[in-house]
Structure 1
Amino acid sequence: MAIDRAKFIQANMPVAEVPSLPEILLHTSHPASGLWRLAESIDGGDPEPPYWAYLWAGGAALARYILEQPQSVQGLKVLDLGAGSGIIAIAAAKSGASHVLAADIDQNAIVALQLNAAVNNVALTLIGDDLTSGSPPPVDLVVVGDLFYGPELAGRVIAFLDRCLDAGINVLIGDPERAHLPVDRLELIAEYFVPDVGQVKTSTVKSSVFRLRPR
């Protein structure tokens, strides 16, 4: 039987404040959410892990930075690449961005993004395609959280971000310095202690916000 993704998320992921980000509400997973059922509902290939359903340290740090420094996005067109639950995109919209695009290749993430935007009373333009293989959209700023955990993905993301820089688009990255982060290209602008995926609920890790420098 086909799953109504929106109804499933609403029934199994209650809305709650985000740890370290009480300004933002998200449909939040718990051990009994049964997210594997959603992952298996997508046709074609092996089910993708539900990365979108969890709070990651890079996204939490970058969202915290945007909320504390709203001038970083005010009046700008912003793209959240690999948006997941939408925490960075929502922070940008709440902080006065003129237009926020949220892109993710996971169909379940797109549904969650729509629901999370609604509970936060913000407007997002959702993109369910892989943008890393093409030219950047017409935006002023690209924000990226936690996309440097694997070498192949990191390579594609960096190549896309370089095309963004070449087009005059600024790039901000949130990451707890995972293995494939291009550290030699980064300017540190903020640090926070925030929760991370896989950590116990009460623990935090240091996560940083960076500006990507041109090659």
Structure 2
Amino acid sequence: MVSLLIEILPLAIASAMSPVILGVCIAMLSKKAANSVLAFLLGSVLAAIILFAIGVAFASGDDIVAQEISQPVAIFDLALGLLLGAFGLKVLLMKESAGDRLGARGQLSAKKLVAVGLLGTLTNFDAALLNITAVRTIAETAGSFATKLLPLAVTEFFLLSPILLPLGVYLVAPQKSAKLLEPLGAWMGKYGRFVVGLIFLGFAVYLVAKALPALAG
């Protein structure tokens, strides 16, 4: 379990680098709108369940598809490694978007906030791909469900941490939460993409290096 946790931890941490979602939550909490953040969190939890299902489906389908195309399962590690590498380069080379589409939204009803949380998390492609990769890695690892429970919990916690962290700070220190969280939001907005990009590239190299010997053999 410890080795699995060490393997997926960089992916989980990188999936937490979501400055837009963090900024939206800080903005809502600055208006004392904790209920709005809870609705947003519910939507993100639903998105996390969908991403979890996709990751498990990829893991369980690898063997079946590999047999159909007469290729070893390592071909999927190679494909995923190349995809992560492409995303890593994209994240590192792209310019930061000045717009904040989520943050620009006005006051929304609870149902709409749930929908925004759901769609905002699913369309946060960097975090979604990292989360799916981590879940796939956990699902493919041999062992009982009990040994995978902690890594799964860590993976999903980090995905939701841009919402859970400001909400937790607000509940503990509601008057000081915005002041405490604004430096984190600024740091994440400035440097978060470098963390994400480097972890993408690092895991891409790991998957390609893992796949090539198996394919060559």
* TM bin (shorter chain): under 0.3
What TM-score, normalized by structure 1, do the two folds share?
A: 0.23
Which protein has the bigger strand share? 1
Between structure 1 and structure 2, the one with the greater Rg is 2
Normalising by structure 2, we get a TM-score of: 0.23
More helix by share: 2
